[in-house]
Structure 1
Amino acid sequence: MDARAIIAKLRRGQVPDTQELAWFSQGLADGGVSDAQAGAFAMAICLNTLGNDGRVALTLGMRDSGRILDWDLDGPVLDKHSTGGIGDCVSLLLAPAVAACGGYVPMISGRGLGHTGGTLDKLEAIPGLTTTPDEQRFREIVAQTGCAIVGASADIAPADKRLYAVRDVTATVESLDLITASILSKKLAAGLDALVLDVKTGSGAFMKSKAEAAALAQALVQTANAAGCKTTAILTDMSQPLVPSVGNALEVAEIMRVLTGQAMGPIAEVTCALGGVLLADAGLAPDAKAGADAIDAALRDGRAADRFGRMIAAMGGPVQFVDNWSRFLPEATVISEVRAGSDGFVHSMDGEALGLSVVALGGGRQVESDSVDPAVGLSDVVPLGTAVQRGQTIARVHAAREDAARLAVDTVSKAISVSPEKPDVAALIQDRIS
């Protein structure tokens, strides 16, 4: 086969066949396809869609470009993926809760991307914890504790790693086909029995409109099910953070408040909705409602906390983390108040601006080589619809330096709008696509 012929087909609006897309994916993985050809391939797909069959073929080709894990466990192998948001630490609750309900969750996660935080960065706020165990240790942790949240190894969907880097510099990130193949090639390589997708919409999401989010959800669900993995998507609102904090250690603290019975709130509602669907799809619950009730019970009665603590210890973190979590998490040296400029209601939030303010504080990466300060971020973010008075605290900035704190206070003040009119707050769970 010839890369140029495949690219020419795409340029003419024709969809390459399954063998051609598999061959091109392998060329991405082993270097048989040049960077120029990879860029032309991505641009041609952006301009001329692959359609459902082509999207499935590309996803499977990229999945098969590396290793595919298989498991010998006494329960179903399950996972969840989020399209990204702010204050979105659902994975840290869902993995141990599903494990407490009889599933096994070998969750391959990522780091922060743009304004959104990364699950691995959040976990690494816990001292001593490593998210890069070797495969044998990864398998042991999953078998012993029911869940492990780790980074992808170099041999999982290597075609995606190569194509993703090319897309980032060729203005081809936004393609529905390429997003779908990128997400699912890694998830399907984990050898899953069922998958649930949290597709977010709103100011803090990548997909700002519900129509965009629904289109992505449809593409992901159709492709994953056609590839043989039982998959359902839930559309959730991301017009404000899911927890009152944005930042790595601060979000872990919010998770621990849920696991130790001090809070529930929107994060628990989303976790139960996603986990309920996943348990039902895997046959561990008769339906999604019963599954959601099982997840809720695991969060409330301490079983999810026990699984989380065992996972943290197995990954190198403190053995007594669940009992003494506040003692282990790092804290910022500067805390500044963000105050309301007028009386009224918290009317809207620029979620992307909030996320980028945390990146500017050092809580995320502006380039891949940046180190992350786990202690910085935002806390006590007042929810939409809350009545406030002029001068009242509507958020707190956690920073390493006074000058960085001042800049963040200014950014956050502009990102949170106070209005005389009480807003209509969107429903947290917007739709289900299966």
Structure 2
Amino acid sequence: MPHLDAPTVIRTKRDGGVLSDAAIDWVIDGYTHGRVADEQMSALLMAIFLKGMAPAEIARWTAAMVDSGERFDFTDLRRDGKPLALVDKHSTGGVGDKITIPLLPVVMACGASVPQAAGRGLGHTGGTLDKLEAIPGFTAELSKAQIRQQLRDIGAAVFAAGELAPADRKIYALRDVTGTTESLPLIASSVMSKKLAEGARSLVLDVKVGRGAFLKTEAESRELASTMVGLGNANGVPTRALLTDMNCPLGRTVGNSVEVAESLEVLAGGGPSDVVALTLALATEMLDAAGIDGADPAETLRDGSAMDCFRALVEAQGGDLSRELPIGAASETVTAPHSGFMGDLDAMGVALAAWRLGAGRAQPGEPVQFGAGVRIHRTPGEPVAAGEALFTLYTETAERLPAALAELDGAWTVGDTAPTRRPLIIDRM
């Protein structure tokens, strides 16, 4: 192998070149084990962000990250003498995207098993682990033995990636604070390295499109979906994707504990219609991918079996749903200046407001505020009366409120007519 060094690899991509397999393997291994510095990987990530990657580079980068750690195999697990129907779902990142929280118990109640390596917040988007860890006592730091036991006994485990794709864990945190999140090659390889390593036998992707997504245009999101579906299928994990709208936040909450509370409403048979609709659409795809016929996901919300599964999952991971979810002690309410209809709501503006409140991170490893977030009282198209509450902002640190209010300013309107409603599900791939 020719001699490799970080500056040469960086310059190759900076100048628009194609990284060799050897260079990709070397830089991923070197960064995983500390031989490549954060500053050097940051420069390479920015070069990739600006210059892109060829399909072969993305495939090799993904494989190198999978190979940086262990790969789980649950094919030996049985329930009632039958192999587990192992399936997972991943979202490319949205605003108010709490779908995993009600979705997993719905799928569990229908007979599938979900090994989910979940992430923390990235950029303006909230992380599933940050939300679930708002539940008092909940932990995602699970041993392999506990993951196996939960899959066998209750049908799901939500865990920090740990030794799965450790290179991605380090790169993921770096992307969060270096302005390199919105890169198709880096998104695709990050998602698929964890998903290929976690032990699922099939995968459903929720690829977001619009202002609150990492990739704003439908064309970019289609390319991302196609890339990830191709990576999954090439690695023996049948993969499919839904393209879904992310111009407006999902549901009526954005943050951590506020999204958990809304998810509990869904599991209790209520909740916002868009959250319910997307949960059931993704559940249908997951069950089909897992080969489970005849189950009715909607019935699990009506009969309480999904809620029972969620309680079992939370209890298995140390959480206590009998304790109150945290909510920020400082709050501010935004009211309507006049009557009319709630206009379009810019998902990015709401996301940045929640981030400013403390729901996200500005530095790698920084703790989030579980009680920080935004409650949306009126969604696009709903009638609004003058002086009526439109948003409530929550934080533990009152000095964060002005910056959050500034982010929210301009992200909403109240007009004389209701905006045209966009379809939630754009396409299936």
What is the TM-score with the length of structure 1 in the denominator?
Answer: 0.87
> Aligned to 2:311, what secondary structure does the other structure show?
helix
8 Å Cα contact 2:327-2:395 kept in structure 1: no
Matches within 5 A, 1:268-279: 268-279=276-287
8 Å Cα contact 1:90-1:271 kept in structure 2: yes
8 Å Cα contact 2:212-2:248 kept in structure 1: yes
8 Å Cα contact 2:341-2:414 kept in structure 1: yes
Query: Residue 54 of structure 1: which of 48, 57, 65 is its match?
Result: 57
8 Å Cα contact 1:110-1:118 kept in structure 2: yes
Q: Which moved more, 1:424-433 or 1:4-13?
A: 4-13
Cα deviation per residue 1:335-372 (whole Å; 9 max; x = unaligned)?
Answer: 44321112222112222221222222222222235333
Q: Which moved more, 1:423-432 or 1:30-39?
A: 30-39
Cα deviation per residue 1:369-419 (whole Å; 9 max; x = unaligned)?
Answer: 533322232224311111212212222223446555566456435322112
Query: Residue 113 of structure 2: which of 104, 111, 114 is its match?
Result: 104
> Aligned to 2:116, what secondary structure does the other structure show?
strand
Cα deviation per residue 1:264-320 (whole Å; 9 max; x = unaligned)?
Answer: 5111111111121121122113xxxx67xx2222222211111110111111112xx
Matches within 5 A, 1:193-204: 193-204=201-212
8 Å Cα contact 2:339-2:385 kept in structure 1: yes
Q: Which residue of 1 aligns with 2:80?
A: none
Measure, in 2, the Cα distance between the counterparts of 1:332 and 1:8: 46
Measure, in 2, the Cα distance between the counterparts of 1:149 and 1:399: 26
Matches within 5 A, 1:259-298: 259-263=267-271, 265-285=273-293, 294-298=296-300
C-alpha change, 1:100 and 1:137, in structure 2 (3 Å) is same
Please tell me whether residue 244 in structure 1 is matched to residue 252 in structure 2: yes
Q: Which residue of 1 aligns with 2:305?
A: 303
Query: Residue 89 of structure 1: which of 81, 93, 98 is its match?
Result: 98
Measure, in 1, the Cα distance between the counterparts of 2:412 and 2:349: 9
Q: Which residue of 1 aligns with 2:383?
A: 387
8 Å Cα contact 1:46-1:175 kept in structure 2: yes
Measure, in 1, the Cα distance between the counterparts of 2:249 and 2:87: 26
The CA deviation at 1:131 is 1.5
Query: Residue 219 of structure 2: which of 194, 211, 223 is its match?
Result: 211
C-alpha change, 1:47 and 1:377, in structure 2 (3 Å) is closer
Measure, in 2, the Cα distance between the counterparts of 1:370 and 1:250: 20
Cα deviation per residue 1:33-54 (whole Å; 9 max; x = unaligned)?
Answer: 5657645654554455443333
Query: Residue 332 of structure 1: which of 328, 331, 352 is its match?
Result: 328
Q: Which residue of 2 aligns with 1:120?
A: 129
Measure, in 2, the Cα distance between the counterparts of 1:39 and 1:413: 32
Coordinate RMSD, CA, aligned:
2.7
Consecutive unaligned residues of structure 1, counting only runs of 5 or more, are none
Measure, in 1, the Cα distance between the counterparts of 2:14 and 2:329: 55
> Aligned to 2:428, what secondary structure does the other structure show?
strand
Measure, in 2, the Cα distance between the counterparts of 1:407 and 1:164: 26
Consecutive unaligned residues of structure 2, counting only runs of 5 or more, are 78-82
Measure, in 1, the Cα distance between the counterparts of 2:368 and 2:49: 33
Q: Which residue of 2 aligns with 1:317?
A: 319
Please tell me whether residue 77 in structure 1 is matched to residue 80 in structure 2: no
Query: Residue 344 of structure 1: which of 340, 348, 365 is its match?
Result: 340
C-alpha change, 1:8 and 1:151, in structure 2 (3 Å) is same
Query: Residue 141 of structure 2: which of 109, 132, 145 is its match?
Result: 132
**AA at the equivalent of 2:315:** A
The CA deviation at 1:90 is 0.5
How many equivalent residue pairs?
A: 420
What is the TM-score with the length of structure 2 in the denominator?
Answer: 0.88
Q: Which residue of 2 aligns with 1:353?
A: 349
Query: Residue 25 of structure 1: which of 23, 28, 53 is its match?
Result: 28
C-alpha change, 1:47 and 1:205, in structure 2 (3 Å) is closer
The CA deviation at 1:143 is 2.0
> Aligned to 1:133, what secondary structure does the other structure show?
coil
Q: Which residue of 1 aligns with 2:196?
A: 188
Measure, in 2, the Cα distance between the counterparts of 1:40 and 1:377: 32
Please tell me whether residue 228 in structure 1 is matched to residue 236 in structure 2: yes
**AA at the equivalent of 1:260:** A
